Structures are given as structure tokens and as C-alpha cells.
């Protein structure tokens, strides 16, 4: 088949909702886009362990400590599935991780914000996991098979995390005046960064058109963001708290909530590396990797020796 | 005869403090699979601690809960051994300490399952499966590091030198243990044999001198415990009487 025929055959499969599998022919740009997106997603899971891990030692009860530790451990598991999905596209986990450490690969900017109080852990669960789920539910139907299947597992756990986060805020919202204030403050700080998680406006998004055609993405950034706003406006009422946006208002024509403008200058600053914790997050990941080098080398050396001894014994 | 409050707290404190220490690795492990493994062990230990504290709270009565026992007791009231409160160190220290502790815990729990106090027996029974895994996981790391590279071997040797002084305390019988169904001093011989077997495979040697550091069971701790508690208890102490 000529390249033209291969491309047509490929697009036909996508149009007919047949998943693309690792051994199928695919355009190089499709492979690259998936590598970029899946690895970015994997890195986000791993870097995302840091702001939440920040509160494990200080969790206010044994139950909360166990829930948080299990949650952060789940994120590591998600990272593993995603690095594996990425490997099916012909790039090793080590290469992918090197790209993170060199700054070539990105991760979700949301994790460059600090978790300052205990309420932030609830707010991250509710808003950050909530925003992530919008995107991830869509990705369970993405065209690349291994990615879609990884997302099915991840979505189940993420929606559990989101409920846990909300429940933890609910307890604070019914607590002492200090706890209520802590809860509102966390929502105020996490709301806008959570909205930024959906990326630039559709008119500004460079990767969107082709990704929609290939069904890597199935909804636009603005569609997902709107869905998220509509959901949160209702949920925040249950907390008896408010969202920090004076422009939030039900629009009967659109059947959606109108909302205020995101501070795009802040968005781009954080993307470019100038957020509150960009340096610390990357530094923590690099440090863990470098300090673990001797451990990985020892494990590899032992495995080789063991293999040789077994071979010698068999001979 | 039911177990005494101090004895249950001792079992709970050991598990909680080591769980707290191991959790420091979460997000910072040498490789993702092992990050998950050590966090898992930490979760198991916190789970064991909760079971023991919940039982202790029932015995203590009044307003006591698992959280008042974990979060509102002071340094001198904690009954954990010194080994578990030492800083996590490097991967060699963490895995070796786990091996020493889990091997001890397995021997202890294998006896506690016949304890006349049924609650203690039930917690031990439930935990044994987990502890078996902790022993296997940590002993595999000891072998890997001992047999691996020159550096890993040197680091493991350092970990042996650093942790050995704390080992003897595992087997020193404290007042609250005298009436327990299990005498920990009787476990030392089997424990040493198990460590020896693993060390032989790892090409390591057990130090000849016995460890001299103890006091944790009496509430005389190293300076590290104060910091662990300050961090762990900070919210409960800053906002007394709140639900979380």
C-alpha cells in the first residue's frame, strides 16, 4: 500500500471507531502526539504525588493519613500504567523520564501550586481530580487502544478520589469557624488554577484540530471547562461555600453558567516555569531519581549475577 | 487474661512510627514500583496501628479514640522501640531496618495468634499475611544490595553498623510484657538464625557486639521522636477538639 492508502485506511478505522493498536500502521505525527500526551499525563501523575504527599506526615487523623497515603500511591500506579502505555509506542520509560528531567516534556501546571493547609488536600481532590476526570472520561474513548484502556482503570480510581476530597471538605465545612475559613480559602486558591487545567481557549489551542480528527481528543478545551464549571457551581452549594468568581451566572440562552475570564498571563507564566513551585517539583523528582541510581544499578547487577549463576549451575 | 493497655500501646506505637517513617518515601522512591511497595508497607503498618489503638481506646474508655491515643500523647508516653523512630536514611537503611523489624514482628505475631486475649490474637492473625510479605520484600532487598555493586554493599554495611545498636531492644522484656503470653527474649535465637540465613545469601556478616541502645519501651526516646510527633500531631494540637 502507498502511504496515501495507509493514511486513508488509518483514518477510516478511526472514523469507524476501531481502536488503533501498537502494531498497526500509524502516521508518525499520530505516534508523536500520543507519546507527548501520554507521557505528559504519566509525568503529571508522578509530579502530582508531591503536593499531596506534602501532607501525609501531617494528616489530622489516622483515617485521613491512610486515605491520603493510599491515594498518592494510586497516583504512582496510574503513572505506571501510563508509562507502560507509552512504551507500546516505542519509547522506554527511562527516555520518557529523562525528557521530564531535562524540561523537554511537560506535566500538568496545576502541580506547580503549593498545598498550604490541610484543606488544600480536600480542594485538590474535589477540584483538581474533578477537572482531571472531565478530561479522562473523554479519554476512555480515545482512539489509541492502550491509552483508552489505561484510562478506564484510572477513571474508576479518580472518581473515588474526587468523592473522598469532597467528603473531606464537607467535614471542614461543618466544623469550627477556623475549619470553615480554611475550607473557603483553599477553594479560593484552587478554583482558577483548576479552570486553567483545561488548557488555552479553543481559538488559541495549537494541538486541537488534528487531535480531534484523529479522535485522540473528543471534546474541546472550552467544552470540557464549561462542563466542569456547571458541575462545580452545584456542588459548592452543598458545602455552603462560594466560588471566587463574581461573574458566575446562569445563562438561560446557553443553558450553561457564564463565568469570568481566566488570568491567561498567570497561566502562561506557570507553563513557562515561573509558577510558585515549578523549580521545587522538578528538583524533587530529579533528586529522587539521582539518589535512586545506585539502587537501580545494584538491582540490575544482582539480577545479572543471579542469571549467570543459574546458567553456570545448569551447565 | 486480657493484654494490658501499655502492651497494646507498645504494639501500636511500633507500627505507627515505622509507618510514619516509611511514608516519607512516598513520591521519592528510587523507582516507581518500589515507591509503591514501601508506601504499601507503610499503609499496612498504619492499618495495624489503628487496630491496636482502637482496642486500646476501648480498654482505656472515656473519650479515648484511636486518634487521641496517636495524636495527644507526649514523647515520654510513647512505648515504641528506638529502631523504628530512627530517620529513614538511604534505601539500604530503610530496607534493612524493615527486615529486622518485620522478621521480629512475624515471630511475635505467630505467637500472639494464640494469645488468650482474643482481640490481640485476631489482630495478629489478620496482620500475619502482610508481615510475611514485608519479610520477603525486605529480605530480597538485603540480598540484592549485598550482592549487587560495591557501592550497594558498602551502603548496606553502613546500614548494618548504624542499625545494629538498636536491635537488642527488640528482645528486652519490659514490665508490661512480663504478663504477656509471649516473652520476647525467647524470640532472639530464632530471629538471629533468620537474619543469619539472609546475611549468608547476601554475603554479609552479623556484628559480634550486642547492641547497647534501648529505652524506647520505657518512654526514654532518641531526639528524633519529638520531631516525628511535632509534625504528626500538629493539626490536632493546633485545633483541639475538631472533627477531620
Q: What is the pLDDT of residues A170-211, one digit of tens each?
A: 999 999 999 999 999 999 999 999 999 999 999 987 767 888
At B45, the pLDDT band (50, 70, 90 cuts) reads: very high
Q: Do B235 and A118 touch (CB under 8 A)?
A: yes
Compute the nearest-CA separation of A285 from chain B (Å). Answer: 7
For A79-115, what is each residue's pLDDT tens digit? 999 999 999 999 999 999 999 999 999 999 999 999 9
Q: What residue in B sits closest to A73 (Cα-Cα)?
A: B36
For the stretch A136-145, pLDDT in tens is 999 999 999 9
In chain B, domain spans: 3-238
The pLDDT value given to residue B1: 65
Q: Which residues of B touch A77 (CB under 8 A)?
A: 36
How far is Cα A94 from Cα A104, in angstroms, rounded to an integer? 14
User: Phi then psi for A19, rounded to 5 degrees?
Assistant: -70, 145
Percent of chain B with pLDDT over 70: 100
Q: Which helix (H) or strand (E) holds A102?
A: helix A93-102
Predicted ipTM > 0.95: yes
Contact B64/A at CB under 8 A: no
What is the predicted pLDDT for the residue at B210?
73
Distance CA(A43)–CA(B100), nearest Å, equals 35
A60 contacts B148? CB cut-off 8 A: no
Closest chain A CA to residue B12? A62
Residue A249, classed as helix, strand or coil, is strand
Per the rule left: phi > 0, alpha: psi between -120 and 50, beta: everything else, B215 is left
- A69/B46 CB distance under 8 A: yes
Q: How are the residues of chain B apportioned to helix, strand and coil, as percentages rounded to the nearest 5?
A: 70, 0, 30
pTM: 0.96
Please answer whether residues B44 and B130 qualify as being in contact, where contact means their C-beta atoms are separated by less than 8 angstroms: yes
A to B CB pairs, distance under 8 Å: 135
Q: Could you give the CA distance from residue B103 to residue B195 in angstroms, rounded to a whole number?
A: 8
Q: How many residues does chain A have?
A: 315
Q: How far is the alpha carbon of A194 from chain B, nearest alpha carbon, in Å?
A: 22
Q: Express as a percent the part of chain B with pLDDT over 90.
A: 93
Confidence grade of residue A277 (pLDDT, cut at 50, 70, 90):
very high
Instruction: Specify the CATH class of B3-238 in words.
Output: mainly alpha
Amino acid at each position: 500500500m502507498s502511504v496515501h492508502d495507509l493514511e486513508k485506511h488509518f483514518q477510516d478505522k478511526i472514523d469507524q471507531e476501531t481502536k488503533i493498536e501498537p502494531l498497526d500502521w500509524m502516521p508518525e505525527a499520530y505516534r508523536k502526539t500520543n507519546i507527548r500526551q501520554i507521557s505528559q499525563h504519566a509525568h503529571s501523575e508522578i509530579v502530582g504525588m508531591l503536593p499531596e504527599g506534602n501532607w501525609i506526615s501531617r494528616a489530622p487523623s489516622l483515617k485521613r493519613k491512610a486515605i491520603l497515603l493510599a491515594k498518592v500511591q494510586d497516583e504512582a500506579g496510574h503513572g505506571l500504567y501510563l508509562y507502560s502505555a507509552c512504551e507500546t509506542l516505542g519509547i522506554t520509560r527511562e527516555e520518557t523520564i529523562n525528557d521530564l528531567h531535562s524540561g523537554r516534556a511537560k506535566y500538568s501546571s496545576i502541580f506547580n501550586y503549593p498545598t498550604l493547609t490541610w484543606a488544600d488536600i480536600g480542594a485538590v481532590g474535589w477540584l483538581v481530580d474533578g477537572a482531571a476526570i472531565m478530561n479522562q472520561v473523554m479519554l476512555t474513548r480515545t482512539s489509541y487502544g492502550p491509552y483508552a484502556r489505561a484510562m478506564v482503570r484510572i477513571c474508576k480510581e479518580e472518581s473515588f478520589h474526587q468523592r473522598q476530597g469532597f467528603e473531606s471538605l464537607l467535614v471542614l465545612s461543618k466544623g469550627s469557624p477556623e475549619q470553615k475559613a480554611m475550607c473557603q480559602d483553599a477553594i479560593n486558591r484552587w478554583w482558577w488554577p483548576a479552570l486553567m487545567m483545561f488548557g488555552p481557549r479553543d481559538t488559541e489551542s495549537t494541538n486541537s484540530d488534528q487531535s480531534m480528527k484523529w479522535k485522540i481528543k473528543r471534546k474541546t478545551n472550552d467544552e470540557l471547562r464549561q462542563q466542569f464549571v456547571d458541575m462545580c457551581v452545584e456542588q459548592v452549594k452543598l458545602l455552603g461555600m462560594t466560588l471566587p468568581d463574581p461573574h458566575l451566572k446562569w445563562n438561560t440562552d446557553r443553558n450553561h453558567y457564564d463565568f469570568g475570564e481566566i488570568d491567561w498571563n498567570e497561566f502562561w507564566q506557570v507553563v513557562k516555569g515561573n509558577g510558585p513551585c515549578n523549580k521545587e517539583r522538578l528538583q524533587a523528582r530529579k533528586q529522587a531519581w539521582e539518589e535512586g541510581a545506585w539502587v537501580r544499578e545494584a538491582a540490575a547487577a544482582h539480577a545479572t549475577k543471579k542469571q549467570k549463576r543459574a546458567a553456570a549451575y545448569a551447565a | 487474661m486480657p493484654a494490658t493497655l501499655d502492651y497494646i500501646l507498645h504494639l501500636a506505637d511500633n507500627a505507627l512510627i515505622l509507618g510514619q517513617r516509611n511514608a516519607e518515601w512516598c513520591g521519592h522512591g528510587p523507582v516507581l514500583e518500589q515507591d509503591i511497595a514501601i508506601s504499601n508497607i507503610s499503609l499496612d503498618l498504619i492499618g495495624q496501628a489503628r487496630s491496636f489503638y482502637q482496642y486500646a481506646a476501648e480498654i482505656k474508655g472515656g473519650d479515648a479514640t484511636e486518634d487521641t491515643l496517636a495524636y495527644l500523647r507526649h514523647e515520654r508516653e510513647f512505648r515504641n522501640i528506638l529502631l523504628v523512630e530512627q530517620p529513614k536514611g538511604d534505601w539500604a537503611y530503610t530496607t534493612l531496618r524493615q527486615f529486622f523489624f518485620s522478621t521480629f514482628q512475624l515471630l511475635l505475631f505467630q505467637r500472639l495468634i494464640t494469645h488468650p486475649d482474643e482481640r490481640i490474637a485476631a489482630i495478629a492473625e489478620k496482620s500475619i499475611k502482610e508481615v510475611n510479605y514485608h519479610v520477603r520484600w525486605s529480605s530480597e532487598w538485603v540480598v540484592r544490595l549485598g550482592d549487587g555493586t560495591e557501592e550497594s554493599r558498602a551502603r548496606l554495611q553502613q546500614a548494618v553498623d548504624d542499625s545494629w545498636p538498636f536491635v537488642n531492644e527488640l528482645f528486652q522484656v519490659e514490665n508490661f510484657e512480663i504478663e504477656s503470653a509471649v516473652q520476647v527474649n525467647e524470640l532472639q535465637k530464632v530471629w538471629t538464625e533468620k537474619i543469619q540465613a539472609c546475611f549468608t545469601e547476601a554475603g554479609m556478616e552479623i556484628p559480634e557486639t550486642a547492641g547497647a541502645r534501648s529505652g524506647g519501651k520505657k518512654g526514654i526516646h532518641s531526639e528524633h521522636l519529638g520531631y516525628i510527633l511535632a509534625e504528626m500531631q500538629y493539626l490536632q494540637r493546633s485545633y483541639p477538639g475538631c472533627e477531620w
